[in-house]
Amino acid sequence: MAANQETKERIVLDVAYQPQVRTIRDTRRLMQDVLIALLPALCVAVWQFGAKVLVTVAASVSSAVFFEWAYRKLLKKSNTIGDLSACLTGLLLALTLPPTAPWWLPVVGTLFAIVVVKQLYGGIGKNFLNPALAGRAFLLASYALIMGNFSVPTGLKGAVDGVTMATPLSYLYGENPLPAYFTPQALFIGTVPGAIGEISAAAILLGLVYLLVRKVISWRISVSFVGTAALLTLIFGRGGDHVNFMLYNVLSGGLLFGAVFMATDYATSPVTLNGQLLYGAGCGALTVLIRYFGGFPEGVTYAILIMNLCTWAIDKGFHRHQFGVTKEDIAAAKAAKKAAKEAAK
Amino acid sequence: MTHTFKGGVHPNYMKAPEIPMTVMTPPPQVVIPLIQHIGAPNQPLVKKGDYVTMGQKVGANPAPVSAPVHSSVSGTVVAVEPRPHPLGDMIMSVVIENDYKDTPCTDLPPLTEEQLKDSDAILERIREAGVVGMGGAMFPTAFKIRGGIGKVDKLVINGAECEPYLNGDHLTMLNYPEQLLKGIELVRIASCVDKAYYGIEKNKQDAIDLLNSLHPEKYGIEIVPEEVKYPQGAEKMQVKAVTGREVKPGGIPSGVGANVVSTRTCYAIYQACYEGKPVIERIVTVAGSALAAPVNVLTRVGTPFSYIAEQCGGFVKTPRKIVLGGPMMGICATSFDAPNIKGTSGVLFFTEEEDRHVDEPTCIRCGKCITVCPMNLEPVFMYMYYSKGDFENMEKYHITDCFECGSCAFNCPARMPLTHAFKTAKLMFQAKAMKEKAKAEAEAAAKEAKK
């Protein structure tokens, strides 16, 4: 008793706020899960483009982490590289670059992504543009030639002469007919030219399944994004076979990669459930619009960036009714408002 | 069809109903706070030096929204003075030196056969025995039931026990099934309804089977198995799961013709009516990483936490918090000297192990708070407007509809202090309303004076 009394005196009780327990999953674990989900795409890239893509990835990840650390160190802010979000931005950016990219290209990209897009607005969660995509858009505008230089994948060596070649998407919207080796199966597995991470639909879908199982993202944005793009290309298809045209549109370019990994970025996508559906649909529609009428063959980057800018308005518009408010209540409130308006007249 | 609600979380339940209930030796001194309910505070009925028997009324208030308190031991009153209260602050309490004789009090005889069929007699007894909502809310039960007569057609008994760690309701079902059913029958008779629905989460399947084997229909009771999800035991979620009705914003369950009474309250009502025993003891789950093992123990009301810890094997690690109730909605006690009261369903001694605190929480806008909110609110925006002090938008985002279940903050990967903020915001709204009221009154008075 006496000993207990003594210890009791010395204990300072913490009167922390509720809840007293928290889920084990924190920001770091979420980011870690996305990094894991990107591994299949990275593996396919190494298989198709060789180990040199790892240099691009390493340069991108390490420079992103360095810029995050250095910026916050210089401004005497807390060190946030532990949450792995900079790491993820670096990897995402690298995966959107062509395999021929020189090592300094991602360094320039992450400088813009981390410092200008993310940290100048206050860091994680406060940026309104997806940092990796904004970095890519910056590189696309500044180094258009390098960014359009796609090397021949291992799967097509022998079938194609030269070192670089055009992507399926540029054929789809270009003058020349699509070469026979760009089969839907090839696009699905990933034996096609393209940006490092975007070539294999199978690898990206594997990542999506992982993210859904781990409940990192919900299906809403990805499904409505791809669904809208598929629907529009099916209805307004070109050429004879609309289904085939739709399939090529979904499988080629960065559409799947964007829908799974880019559009679902937490900070820059809506949090309201119906808002997420609209946002995804907007991304899909804009992608198709840009592909049909834009100057670039690819539209995913700008489609998502434009929808990023609409996120705030979408969230405001989809403010939901709280528990206990029935449809009749909403109708009654509307009628009352209308009546008040008329009475004012 | 599974009975449940939208949203909610699945915390690590940490339950240990397999540990049998033990009875704790009463402490040498009990502290009976005069406030153990929501409503008018009790006035002391005894003074220093008085001898009291076990179950004797030591504090009461004639106001309708109140519940008397009783001595949980027999012995001598050594002080009537402010003492640390488990919910914070110093509250006037009756301190009784235990003579370990447990001399029973005969003020409340068991009800007669006729009285057990009479709503008024039962309600009178419920009030006299000091029965309050023993799930933790501590609202006077007699007042709640009386207010629902005529309005309530669905009586819901809450057996969800959705909070992690707690086993008290589960063990009550297993140890006193017949008494519990009789207690529910009494609540049903008192509420003047034909049927009571007993919602129990499916993780208590053994209790559901046991109760079903005792023919609950004989007592006018239907057992409703529910999905295991927090906060299934919240009043509004319970009503939704069992009846499908949604309580209106700002309303109470009786507004949609339902009343919710907790398992332990029904058992207390059984004891009050059949045994003439007021609320002087309750089963408490004592757990947390500061202790070697969790304990389910029947304690007297008024047992100080330091004594409880000692009786439960003492600390193996230094505790950082004393959490009262479950870890989701429970709040922290500020003192080891504070006693357990009628609504204390659990005493959890937590160390740093349970703590997942971060120094600089930063919202990543993942929206995981929105998907789990059982009230369909949008915590991410509520918190944003709270930090800005924007009352207009806080109201627009229905911050006052939050009932502080903690699901959003539990699920928050960024560890934002969401529930804490909403609790504070609600207090701010209360203060603002009071200020406005005072201002209006002052203006009216000034006008009057001018005339």
Tell me whether residues A21 and B365 touch, CB distance under 8 A: no
Residue where a domain terminates, one of B275, B305, B323 = B275
**CB distance B336–A21 less than 8 Å?**
no
Residue contact A23–B248, C-beta within 8 A: no
Interchain pair A23, B11: CB under 8 A: yes
Q: Which of B35, B32, B108, B31 is nearest to B65 (CA)?
A: B35
- Beta-ladder partners of B298: B23, B283
Give per-residue pLDDT as tens, B198-218: 999 999 999 999 999 999 999
Cα distance between residue B242 and residue B62, in whole Å? 35
- Write down how long chain A is: 345
Rama region for A312: left / alpha / beta (φ>0; ψ in -120 to 50; rest)? alpha
Distance to chain A for B290, nearest Cα, Å: 12
d(CA A189, nearest CA chain B) in Å = 31
- Whole-angstrom Cα distance, residue B44 to residue B69? 9
Band of the pLDDT at B22, cuts 50, 70, 90?
very high
Least confident of A110-124, A126-140, A268-282, A288-302: A288-302
Answer whether B133 touches A (CB < 8 Å).
no
Average pLDDT over residues A312-339: 88
d(CA B317, CA B350): 9
Alpha carbons B280 and B131: distance in angstroms, whole number: 10
**What value does the mean pLDDT take over residues B223-237?**
93
* Strand B29-33, strand B90-98: pairing: antiparallel
Q: How sure is the predictor about A2, in pLDDT bands with cuts at 50, 70 and 90? A: very low
Q: Which residues contact B21 (CB under 8 A, 6 or more apart)?
A: B171, B175, B283, B296, B297, B298
Q: Kindly list the residues from chain B whose CB atom is less than 8 angstroms away from the CB atom of residue A27.
A: 362, 364, 413-414
Decide if B207 contacts B174 (C-beta within 8 A): yes
pLDDT for A79-100, tens place per residue?
999 999 999 999 999 999 999 9
Residue A332 falls inside a structural domain: no
Most confident of A302-311, B132-141, B248-257, B330-339: A302-311
Give contacts of A20 with chain B, Cβ < 8 Å.
321, 323, 327-328, 330, 332, 348, 350, 354
Q: Which of B248, B333, B371 sits opposite A324 (nearest CB)?
A: B248
**B269 and B379 housed in the same domain:** no
Nearest-CB residue to A25 (from B323, B404, B413): B413
- Residue B170 belongs to a domain with what CATH number? 3.40.50.11540
Total domains in chain A come to 1
Tokens for A106? 């991602």
- B381, B266: one domain: no
Domain that holds residue A191: 27-316
Please check whether residue B162 lies inside any domain of the structure.
Answer: yes
User: For residue B236, is it within any domain?
Assistant: yes
* B13 Cα to chain A: minimum distance (Å): 11
Has residue A185 been placed in a domain?
A: yes
Q: Which amino acid does the sequence have at A258?
A: G
Rg (CA), chain B: 22
The interface predicted TM-score of the complex, written ipTM, equals 0.90
Contact yes or no for B3/B226 (Cβ under 8 A) = yes
Is B249 a domain residue? yes
Same domain assignment for residues B248 and B392 = no
Q: How far apart are CA B117 and CA B124, in angstroms?
A: 13
pLDDT of amino acid A6: 47
Cβ–Cβ < 8 Å for B30, B72: yes
Instruction: Over range B183-196, report the average pLDDT.
Output: 94
Point out the residue among A15, A23, A271 whose CB comes nearest to the CB of B367: A271
Number of structural domains in chain B: 2
Identify whether A19 is preceded by a cis peptide bond (ω within 30 of 0). Answer: yes
Proportion of chain A in helix, strand, coil states, percent, rounded to 5 = 65, 0, 35
Query: Can you give the pLDDT at residue B297?
Result: 95
Distance CA A101, CA A86 (A): 20
Tokens of A133: 């995509």
User: Is the bond into B231 cis (omega within 30 degrees of 0)?
Assistant: yes
Tokens representing residue B206 in the block: 């053994």
Instruction: Classify strands B57-60 and B51-52 as parallel, antiparallel or unpaired.
Output: unpaired
In a domain, A188, yes or no: yes
* Tokens 């110093």, residue located: B90
Are B267 and B141 in the same domain? yes
Q: Would you say residue B430 has pLDDT above 50?
A: yes
B291 forms bridges with which residues in the sheet? B315
Q: What is the DSSP string of A192-226?
A: S-SSTTTS-HHHHHHHHHHHHHTTSS-HHHHHHHH
Q: Give the separation between CA B92 and CA B96, rounded to whole angstroms.
A: 13
CA separation, residue A343 to residues A95, A335, A337, A338, A339 (Å): 60, 12, 10, 9, 6
Q: Is residue A6 domain-resident?
A: no
What is the token pair recorded at B19? Answer: 């540990």
Token digits of residue A266: 């937490």
* B interface test, pick of A22, A119, A127, A273 with most B CB neighbours within 10 Å: A22
CATH of the domain at A68: 1.10.3430
| Residue B392 placed within a domain | yes
pLDDT in tens, B275-320: 999 999 999 999 999 999 999 999 999 999 999 999 999 899 999 8
Structure tokens at A17: 């706020």
Measure CA of the first residue to CA of the last residue in chain A; give whole Å: 79
B381 touching chain A per CB within 8 A:
yes
- How many whole angstroms separate alpha carbon B204 and alpha carbon B201? 6
Which residues of chain B neighbour A26 with C-beta distances below 8 Å? 356, 358, 413-415
Position A294 scores a pLDDT of: 85
Q: Rounded to the nearest 5 degrees, what angle is found at the Cα of B203, between the Cα atoms of B200 and B208?
A: 45
Question: Does residue B87 or residue A217 have the better pLDDT?
Answer: A217
User: For strand B258-262 and strand B154-159, is the pairing parallel, antiparallel, or unpaired?
Assistant: parallel
Residue A17 with chain B: CB contacts under 8 Å? 417, 419-420, 423
Query: What pLDDT does A1 receive?
Result: 40
Contact A11 B409 (CB under 8 A): no
Contact A97, A195 (CB under 8 A): yes
Whether A262 maps to a domain, the answer reads yes
Record the tokens describing residue A31, joined without a space.
Answer: 């980011």
Token readout for A324 is 């206990």
Closest CA to A301 of A156, A150, A96: A96
The confidence score (pLDDT) of residue B327 equals: 93
- The CA distance from B214 to A99, in Å, is 72
B398 and B256 co-located in one domain: no
**B309·A4 Cβ contact <8 A:** yes
Q: Which residue of B has its CA nearest to A20?
A: B327
Instruction: Confirm or reject contact between B392 and chain A (CB < 8 A).
Output: no
CA A186, CA A200: separation in Å to the nearest integer?
A: 8
- Asked if residues B181 and B188 have their Cβ atoms less than 8 Å apart, the reply is no
Residue B94 near residue B301, CB atoms below 8 Å:
no
A249 located within any domain: yes
Residue A196, in any domain of the structure: yes
- The phi and psi torsions of A62 (rounded to 5 degrees) equal -70, -35
pLDDT for the residue numbered A10: 60
Cα dihedral B111, B115, B119, B122, rounded to 10, equals -10
β-partners of residue B346 are B285
Q: What are the tokens at B129?
A: 């025995």
- Counting Cβ atoms within 10 Å, is residue B139 exposed (0-12), middle (13-18) or buried (19+)? middle
Which among B180, B252, B255 has a CA at the least distance from the CA of B221?
Answer: B180
Among A11, A21, A76, the strongest candidate for a mutation testing the B interface, having the largest count of B CBs within 10 A, is A21
**8 A C-beta contact, residue A38 and residue A95:** yes
In a domain, A334, yes or no: no
The stretches of B130-253 forming alpha helices (DSSP H) are: 141-148, 168-175, 177-191, 205-213, 235-243
Question: How do beta strands B75-84 and B57-60 pair?
Answer: unpaired
Angle between helices B177-191 and B168-175 (to 10 degrees): 100
Whether residue B243 sits in one domain with residue B134: yes
Q: Are residues B137 and B257 in the same domain?
A: yes
**pLDDT value of residue A9:** 53
Q: For B291, phi and psi rounded to 5 degrees?
A: -105, 160
B164 has a chain A CB within 8 A of its CB: yes
Q: If you average pLDDT over residues A55-74, what whole number do you get?
A: 97
Mean pLDDT score, B15-26: 93
C-alpha distances out from residue A220 to A260, A270, B10, B378, B409, Å = 10, 11, 22, 17, 23
Average the pLDDT over B131-137 and give the result. Answer: 88
Range of the domain at B410: 368-450
Cross-chain residue pair A321–B376, CB shorter than 8 Å: yes
Do B387 and B216 contact (CB within 8 A), yes or no?
A: no
The residue out of B275, B307, B330 marking a domain boundary is B275
Phi-psi region of B235 (alpha: psi -120 to 50; beta: other; left: phi over 0): alpha
Domain co-membership, B120 together with B237:
yes
E strand spans, chain A: none
